Chains A and B, each alone.
Chain A
Amino acid sequence: MAKGMFVDTTICTGCKACQVACKQWNGLSAEPAHFGKRPGVPYPVADNFTGDSYDNTGTLSATDWRHVRFIEQIDESRREKRWLFSSDSCKHCSDAGCLNACPTKAIVRTDLGNVVVQQETCIGCKFCIPSCPYGVISFSEETGTAHKCTLCNDRIHNGLGTACAKACPTGSIRFGELADLKKRADARLAQLKGKGEQARIYGYEEADGLNVFYLFADRPKVYGQPEDPVVPQRRLVLCSLVTILTALGVGAAALVSFRERLNGRDEEENHES
Chain B
Amino acid sequence: MSPEIIQPPEWAWYYIAVYFFVAGTSAGAYFIGAMEELFGSGREREVSRAACYIAFPLLILVPIPLIADLGRPERFWHLFIYNQGGYPYLNLISPMSVGSWVLLIFSVCTLLSFLDNLVADRVISFPLFSRYYNRIPRRLYAVFGSLAGFFIAGYTGVLLNVTASPFWAATSPFMGALFIVSGASTGAAAISLYLIWRRRNSGGEVERLEAFDRVVMVSELVLIALLLILAGRTALPLMTLPFVAMFWLGTVALGIVAPLWFKYRFRRHPFGDAPVLAHYLCILAGGLLLRISLLQAGQL
Contacts and interface: CB of A to CB of B under 8 A. Distances in A.
A105 B84 CA distance: 9
B31 interface: yes
A133 B168 CA distance: 13
> By CB atoms of chain B within 10 A, which of A118, A123, A135 has the most?
A123
A189 B92 CA distance: 40
Nearest to B34: A254
Given A100-B93, A246-B181, A221 B162 contact: no
Interface of B is mostly: helix
Given A103-B79, A104-B89, A221-B2, A97 B184 contact: no
Nearest to A224: B5
A138 interface: yes
A102 interface: yes
Contacts of A227: 1-2
Contact of A105 (B4, B91, B172, B176): B91
Contacts of A143: 71
A135 B164 CA distance: 9
Contacts of B63: none
Interface stretch (A75-83, A161-169, A173-181, A229-237): A229-237
A120 B74 CA distance: 12
B176 A130 contact: no
B39 interface: yes
Interface string A117-149: 010111111110111111101111101111000
Contact of B39 (A102, A126, A262): A262
A121 B89 CA distance: 12
B125 interface: no
Given A239-B162, A250-B181, A254-B212, A144 B71 contact: yes
A220 to B, nearest CB: 8
Interface size class of B (residues with CB under 8 A): 35 or more
Interface string B168-191: 110011111100110010000000
Given A135-B6, A261-B211, A103 B94 contact: yes
A25 B211 CA distance: 65
Interface stretch (B8-16, B250-258, B281-289): B8-16
Interface in B127-168: 150, 154-155, 157-159, 161-165, 168
Interface stretch (B54-62, B95-103, B269-277): B95-103
Contacts of B31: 250-251, 254
A247 B180 contact: yes
B78 A121 contact: yes
Contacts of B5: 59, 134-135, 224-226
Contacts of B96: 101, 103, 125, 127
The residue in A126, A229, A265 that gathers the most chain B C-beta atoms within 10 A of its C-beta is A126
A228 interface: yes
A227 B159 CA distance: 24
Contacts of A254: 31-32, 35, 39, 184, 212
B264 interface: no
A258 interface: yes
Contact of B10 (A100, A121, A139): A139
Interface in B179-208: 180-181, 184, 204, 207-208
B102 to A, nearest CB: 12
A243 B78 contact: no
B240 interface: no
A106 interface: yes
A160 interface: no
Shortest Cβ-Cβ A-B pairs, 10 listed: A124-B71, A144-B71, A243-B176, A103-B97, A135-B5, A246-B177, A130-B163, A257-B212, A126-B9, A239-B173
18 contacts: A97-B164, A102-B94, A118-B84, A126-B10, A127-B163, A129-B9, A132-B6, A133-B164, A138-B7, A140-B71, A144-B70, A227-B1, A230-B169, A239-B172, A251-B150, A254-B212, A257-B212, A261-B208
Interface of A: 59, 97, 100-106, 118, 120-127, 129-135, 137-141, 143-146, 220-221, 224-230, 232-233, 235-236, 238-247, 249-251, 253-255, 257-259, 261-262, 265-266
Given A124-B72, A224-B5, A253-B215, 5 more contacts: A123-B71, A126-B9, A247-B180, A254-B39, A255-B35
